Structure 1
Amino acid sequence: MPIDESGGSQPEAGPAGADLALLTLAQWLSPAYPVGAFAYSHGLESAVAEGAVRDADGFGRWLDDVLLFGGGRNDAILLVAAYAAAPDALAGIDALARALAPSAERAMETELQGAAFAATTSAIWGGADAPLAYPVAVGAAAAAQGLPLEKTLQFYLHGFASNLTAAATRLVPLGQTEAQAVLAARGPALADLSALALSLTPDDLGSSAFMADIASMRHETQYSRMFRS
């Protein structure tokens, strides 16, 4: 794999390079990548405990709201902004990402995952290792490695939905097949959101997934819990 002037690696040109780019994204956004995503439920644990999410249909609706009207959509916009940003502009995007977190635990979720992602990616692929909010860290790293933006969005959003599906499998609880059916049904929405985010800017940021945000606040004082958020 060619090495760029900053010490990072760049995908090779041609079909083999395209395949390598996808494999890199699959590694970055896989459960095996050490960002600790398995430890966070994005407020879902509180929603289940309070009875707002009881079954597969309820989880599917909750996941749709978070993806299309809440953290998923905002993360996609932030990732696009970070991908296009000059290095000296990343701090402002990162500060915006942190300010958008609706609760202390959601702020911890994006900050700790982003810091872990940046540290591991820098150690293997080179580039900056400054701790950034998770979508900002992924967008900046993808740009530095020359990875395709839309594919990065698709992998990121699928990883986002997959982590929440894994949490729902344990919390609701859902059967493995039932949970995967919910995730598979989100495929068209994930593709549409990835395409839409390419045309959005930080001016389009905003969330109307109020119940999910309130659930993340209530989770901070939940008596018994499995997840950190």
Structure 2
Amino acid sequence: MSDPAAPSAGGASSGGGSAGVSSAGLLTLTQWLSPAFPLGGFAYSHGIEWAVAAGEIADAAGLQRWLEGVLAEGAGRGDAILLAQALRPGVDHAALDALGRALAPSRERLAEVLEQGAALTRTTNALLGLEHDPAVLPVALGRAAQGLEVAPEQAIALYLQSFAGNLVLAGVRFVPLGQTEGQAVLAALQPLILRLAAEAAAAPLEALGSAALRSDLAAMKHETMDVRIFRT
């Protein structure tokens, strides 16, 4: 089913936007990726809980290094490319969803992208009057956002910022770090996020790949922790 441009949800252009970009669309996408939207992203640590418990992340500098690896070489880059593909007209979203599921390196990683993607799909279906099936989060987001008139590079950057923000929050809660330290880490990741967004927007599907092995292992080890606060 194609995505209609729904003015009430930000599909129509409004004043203040640059050429080809809808200000209302940007606000809608920001809403979908905000903590107020019922994705439940706060419940997932992406393996960080285990990494902290194992002493691999002990301070703000360690958290920043870890997140740089996840973004540049792990799920951040992979999700960015999937999102870029999902935003393209005429793409086979079911095939992209199947690929996204196959790329998950562990049970918890698969649950993370599926559960959040299903939550986003349920809510955007209700808001936009759509009947999409659940999909992994980057595919679900790209599919729903096709009618928002938002530049792919902007959509990807907002997605990566939200992803990194959730993981920074996990570090703030579990290391623990002060709120200012956490925000400094997130701010320091901005140049990397912008570079990855630009690269992913132009990347072919064949560019998908991952080399964040320590992060993947952390997610696997998290599955067997006796005491856990986060779901992943």
Q: TM-score, normalised by structure 1?
A: 0.93
How much does 1:19 deviate? 2.1
Q: Which amino acid aligns with 1:116?
A: A
Percent identical among aligned pairs is: 48
**Is 1:178 matched up with 2:181?**
yes
Q: What SS does structure 2 have at the residue aligned with 1:208?
A: coil
Give 1:5 deviation, angstroms.
8.4
Contact 1:46 1:216 (C-alpha < 8 Å) held by counterparts: yes
Residue 109 of structure 1 deviates from its aligned partner by 0.4
Matching residue of 2:120? 117
Instruction: State which of 37, 41, 44 in structure 1 corresponds to 2:48.
Output: 44
What's the counterpart of residue 99 of structure 1?
102
Unaligned runs of 5+ residues in structure 2 are none
Distance change (3 Å), C-alpha of 1:44 and 1:85: farther
Matching of residues 75-224 of structure 1 within 5 Å: 75-86=79-90, 89-224=92-227
Work out whether residues 12 and 25 of structure 2, in 8 Å CA contact, stay in contact via their aligned partners in 1: yes
Deviations 1:34-83 (A, max 9, x none): 01101000011111111111111100000000000000000000001111
Mapped to 2, the partners of 1:174 and 1:208 lie a distance apart of 27
Give, in angstroms, the shift of residue 147 of structure 1.
Answer: 2.8
SS in 2 for 1:24: helix
Which digits, 9 at most, give the CA deviation of each residue in 1:139-195, with x for residues without a partner?
A: 111113333211111110100000000000011111100111010011111111111
Q: Deviations over 1:2-52 (max 9, x none)?
A: xx9847442225426732122111101101110110100001111111111
Q: Any gaps of 5 or more consecutive residues in structure 1?
A: none
The one-letter code matched in structure 1 to 2:84 is V
Deviates more, 1:208-217 or 1:144-153: 144-153
Amino acid at match of 1:74: G
Q: Contact 1:6/1:126 (CA < 8 Å) preserved in 2?
A: no
SS in 2 for 1:84: coil
User: C-alpha distance in 2, partners of 1:26/1:7?
Assistant: 17
Aligned pair count? 225
> Cα RMSD between the aligned structures?
1.7
Amino acid at match of 1:129: H
Q: C-alpha separation between the residues in 2 aligned to 1:174 and 1:155? A: 24
CA separation in 2, counterparts of 1:79 and 1:64?
19
C-alpha change, 1:208 and 1:15, in structure 2 (3 Å) is same
Structure 1 residue 129 displacement after superposition: 2.6
**Does 2:32 correspond to 1:31?**
no
Does the aligned pair in 2 maintain the 1:114–1:133 contact within 8 Å? yes
